[in-house]
Structure 1
Amino acid sequence: MKDPGFSLNCRGKLLDLSTPIIMGILNLTPDSFSDGGKHFEEKSALDQVAKMLKEGATIIDIGAQSTRPKAEFLQPETEISRLGKLIPMIKKEFPEVTLSLDTFYSEVVQFGFDEGIDIINDISGGNFDPKMFETVAKTGLPYILMHVNETYDLMHKKLIEEDLLLKMNRYFSEKINELQSLGVKDIILDPGFGFGKTVEQQHQLLNETEFIDFGKHPLLIGISRKSFIYKPLGKKHSEIVEETQKFHQQVLEKGAKILRVHDVAEASKTVDIFLNR
């Protein structure tokens, strides 16, 4: 498949996606499923950003609310409080970094935009906040659109569909049309691994990645430490680095442009192998 040469306009700076890049995860949450509480303090968060950038991350994705099953549901004010002044602190310390904000609240998006974020990462696809899409449009930032069930309460419920790929492509098409009608130009697609899909369906998506939107928009894959990999193997989330890299290699070969990961160094090696194969 010919590389379409995607790029993202991040506040006037073009982020080149002609070759795949790494998005490192920075959880500012005490209850995240894999690293809760580790980077809750500002110094710890800055140290982790430095580590991930050194290991090869291009984007740092900041999240102030865990979306694991049975996580505590937070209001936007709590997310904003947890973010504090970290965004401008990171920008000052690491001026070359591209910052993504993981939230499903338009109010938090506006706060993050004012503080200096470059990308919006919304796991809700605009479903959890009716003002999300119009707020995204006003910021002019690139937007990561994830496939997910319609409500917060249902986001982890496995709704079995006969043809997941067909349903997903219809979902993306409708959401993309809505976003573009509002003036949103840069849209990244995320199939939503770990959200409301069976183990079999998630492996189907890994095997058929190239048919998600048929390569019309850049694709982000987030399978890091996901239960559909470690539970069938009887392992812990921290024990599947090798298996995860095999799947990363697979999706890179099928056109993925961004890998959202906890283990940046290992994912960077996988991208290097892919580029030098």
Structure 2
Amino acid sequence: MLSNSQTLKPSNAQTYSINCNGRLVQLDTPKIMGILNLTPDSFSDGGKFNTEKAALEHAEKLLKDGAEILDIGPQSTRPNAEFLSAEEEISRIGNIISMIKKEFPEALISLDTFYAATVKFGFNEGIDLINDISGGQYDTEMFNTAAETKLPYILMHVNPSYKTMHDKIKFEDITLEVNRYFAKKTKELLEKGVNDIILDPGFGFGKTGEDQMKMIHEVGYLGFGKFPLLIGISRKSFIYKPLGKSPLDINEETQKLHMNVLEQGAKILRVHDVAEAKETLARFLRKK
């Protein structure tokens, strides 16, 4: 029985690949995932990209700046955000996925949703990854749908219901808690036939600032080195609130943390500011 996170082994030497719709993507070199919110109410860019023209233009910018994955989000999951049904998400997405696929066929598209029905729609439109913030807890059909599509599945640690998603919990040992959750959920996914799993510790979701900083420094111990790690700390309040800054004014601090997690083996950085993250990644690769 593990007594504390120091008994775990860092995962920074591990190599991975994922099968994205028949395209084998190697994660030996970490990837940048650019955030494309189609929402009117996201906390830092709500309403900027929620038309087809604006979304397509921003997708082009993210890719030019160095993103290899575009994470399309039809619903904001910030505290007190508007709650949408799957039907409303699908309506909001419209033709954007197929348009981006047609315009930028080399781009990998991740769909940020906790609804199985939205995943099915996205799969038919050409998505390459599923990014489910709920870990299958908000829609009981999600794991089955992930297995049916055979797409890589991003598994995030989060509280067990939509209503409690942002309730702050102080854990005895956040790293052990997250690893217990990952162990249970990855077992379920593998048993259902989901073979490509990416782990997201869930920064910004139901964790104290202290625990999130602890996770930053113990990223290398998360997931037991079995699966690639995605880190999403872009514009998160645990960084900017203690500094008395806004989400848009913490680039320098964020890039230092990005370097920290890259050095511990993170394989995907989910970011708003792609060019800056790309510079950090380039500096990391030069140091290797």
Mapped pair 1:236 → 2:252: no
How many correspondences in the alignment? 277
Query: In structure 1, how many angstroms separate the alpha carbons of the residues matched to 2:270 and 2:114?
Result: 17
CA positional deviation for 1:161: 1.6
**Aligned partners of 1:5 and 1:228: how far apart in 2?**
30
Cross-structure match for 1:94:
104
d(CA) in 2 for partners of 1:199, 1:16: 33
1:21 corresponds to 2:31: yes
Paired position in structure 1 for 2:188: 178
1:1-277 alignment to 2 at 5 Å? 3-277=13-287
Deviations 1:91-122 (A, max 9, x none): 00001000000000000000000111000000
Q: Distance in 1 between matches of 2:200 and 2:253?
A: 20
Code of the residue aligned with 1:80 in structure 2: it is: I
1:189 partner SS: strand
Deviation at 1:159, TM superposition (A): 1.5
Aligned equivalents of 1:161 and 1:228: distance in 2? 16
Normalising by the residue count of structure 2, what TM-score does the alignment of the two structures yield? 0.95
Q: Is the 8 A contact 1:189 1:220 kept in 2?
A: yes
CA distance in 1, matches of 2:247, 2:260: 20
Instruction: Provide the rounded CA distance (Å) in 1 between the counterparts of 2:188 and 2:257.
Output: 32
Q: Tell me the CA shift for residue 15 of structure 1.
A: 1.1
Q: CA RMSD in A?
A: 0.8
Which residue type is aligned with residue 133 of structure 2? I
Q: Which amino acid is the alignment partner of residue 182 of structure 1?
A: K
Contact 1:3 1:18 in 2 (8 A): no
**Residues in 2 aligned to 1:155 and 1:15: alpha-carbon distance in whole angstroms:** 31
Structure 1 runs not aligned, ≥5 long = none
Q: In the aligned structure 2, how far is the partner of 1:33 from the partner of 1:184?
A: 32
Per the alignment, in what secondary structure is the counterpart of residue 133 of structure 1? helix
Which structure carries more relative contact order (alpha carbon 8 Å, separation 6+)? Answer: 2
Instruction: Report the alpha carbon displacement of residue 4 of structure 1 after superposing the two structures with TM.
Output: 2.5
Query: SS of 1:166's equivalent?
Result: helix
Taking structure 1 as reference, are residues 41 and 2 closer, same or farther at Cα in structure 2, changes over 3 Å only? closer
SS at 2:36 equivalent: strand
Q: How far has the Cα of 1:215 moved from its partner? A: 1.7
Map Cα deviations across residues 20-46 of structure 1 (whole Å, 9 max, x no partner): 110000000000001000000111101
Question: Structure 1 residues 203 and 2 mapped into 2: Cα distance closer, same or farther (>3 Å)?
Answer: closer
**Distance across 2 between alignment mates of 1:2 and 1:202:** 19
Q: Supply the distance in 1 between the matched residues of 2:81 and 2:196 (Cα, whole angstroms).
A: 30
Mapped contact 1:103–1:122 kept (Cα < 8 A): yes
- Aligned with 2:135: secondary structure? coil
- Supply the AA of the counterpart residue of 1:239: D
Indicate the percent of aligned positions where both proteins have the same amino acid: 64
Q: Deviations over 1:177-220 (max 9, x none)?
A: 00000000100000000000000000000010011012210000
